[in-house]
Amino acid sequence: MSKQVLYRRKVFFYETDAQGIVHHSNYPRYFEEARGFFLEEFGFPYHRVREELNVDIVLLELSVRYKQPLFFGDSFFIKTVLTKMDRFFFWFEYTVEREGKILATGKTKHCCIDRSTRKTISIPNQIKELFNGQNR
């Protein structure tokens, strides 16, 4: 499975602590931004998933491994890779890089829920096709 997208970003001052280092709590936010960009790049932005399919994509698991810090003003990118998908779940891996150095890595696991019932559902065919590359 290995669909990959690069998301570029810059560190803003409000994301840093008193030493000018990105606070650890921002990395899950960066991953969320990168996932949203991933969907956009494959032609199915999250607002369409919600409106057209009546589905929410739910985060079930999250892990982050911090290796080196990001600082205020740094430009960096996040490589987002869809690594696995089955009937109900899909997984992403993230690599945060600046100037060829890996600064952090992460993983997330997701499922889809019906927005009306709030119950877990099988991944809709439109999303499966998207992830399998039939829409790109």
Instruction: Report the distance separating Cα 131 and Cα 42, nearest Å.
Output: 8
CATH number assigned to the domain comprising residue 49: 3.10.129.10
Total number of residues shown for the chain: 136
Instruction: Report the distance separating Cα 118 and Cα 87, nearest Å.
Output: 18
pLDDT tens by residue, the chain, 136 residues: 567 899 999 999 999 999 999 999 999 999 999 999 999 998 889 999 999 999 999 999 999 999 999 999 999 999 999 999 999 999 999 999 999 999 999 999 999 999 999 999 999 998 888 878 644 4
pLDDT given for residue 134 in this prediction = 44
104's CB contacts (< 8 A; 6+ apart) are 27, 64, 65, 66, 67, 68, 70, 94, 95, 96
53 in any annotated domain: yes
pTM of the model: 0.91
52 in any annotated domain: yes
136 in any annotated domain: no
Catalytic residues: 17
What DSSP state is assigned to residue 72?
T
94's CB contacts (< 8 A; 6+ apart) are 30, 31, 34, 78, 79, 80, 81, 104, 105, 106, 107, 108
Query: Could you give the number of structural domains in the chain?
Result: 1
21 in any annotated domain: yes
Cα angle at 107 between 26 and 120, to 5 degrees?
100
30 in any annotated domain: yes
Return the biggest CA–CA distance within the chain. Answer: 47
**Domain of 124?**
3-131
